Amino acid sequence: MSKDWQDLTEITGKRVIIVERVKLPQEGISIEGEFNLPPLVRLSADDQIFISAFIRCHGSIKQMEKFFGVSYPTIKNRLNKIADQLEFVQIEPAAGKIRILERLESGEISVDKAINDLHKGN
């Protein structure tokens, strides 16, 4: 992680940050307005490092235990603490599944046909 981000998260603490200017120096473009930072960037520098290590370990808690030299419950507690700071991502059902349910609701297909199509992924 860049030292600049560590400094930024230490300076701002838990306070809300609003970015007002974004610059793309290679293109000579600047955009002004109010931009919220992504949820992961709002985590403390330590939590960002922890999540980066978790991803590098492919989500293996056993590898995390070895890497940080702590127990399984310690890793789980830290993950839970970080998860509590993040919004749950809602995943929209695939458009095909929505269409199957719409066809079922309109009476165009039977329940059995809908179940069969949903299992096939149509």
Residue 51's Cβ-count burial label (10 Å; 0-12, 13-18, 19+) is: middle
pLDDT given for residue 88 in this prediction: 73
Distance CA 13, CA 45 (A): 10
β pairing state of 29-36 and 18-24: antiparallel
pLDDT given for residue 1 in this prediction: 46
pLDDT given for residue 6 in this prediction: 58
Model confidence, pTM: 0.57
Q: Please name each of the domains of the chain with its CATH number.
A: 3-85 (1.10.10), 92-122 (no CATH)
* Most confidently modeled range among 2-6, 23-27, 44-48: 23-27
* pLDDT tens figures, 63-114: 999 999 999 999 999 999 999 988 876 666 677 888 888 888 899 999 999 9
Torsion, CA 28, CA 30, CA 35, CA 41, rounded to 10? 30
Strand partners, 32: 21
86 vs 37 pLDDT, higher one = 86
pLDDT > 90 in the chain, percent: 45
Distance CA 49, CA 55 (A): 10
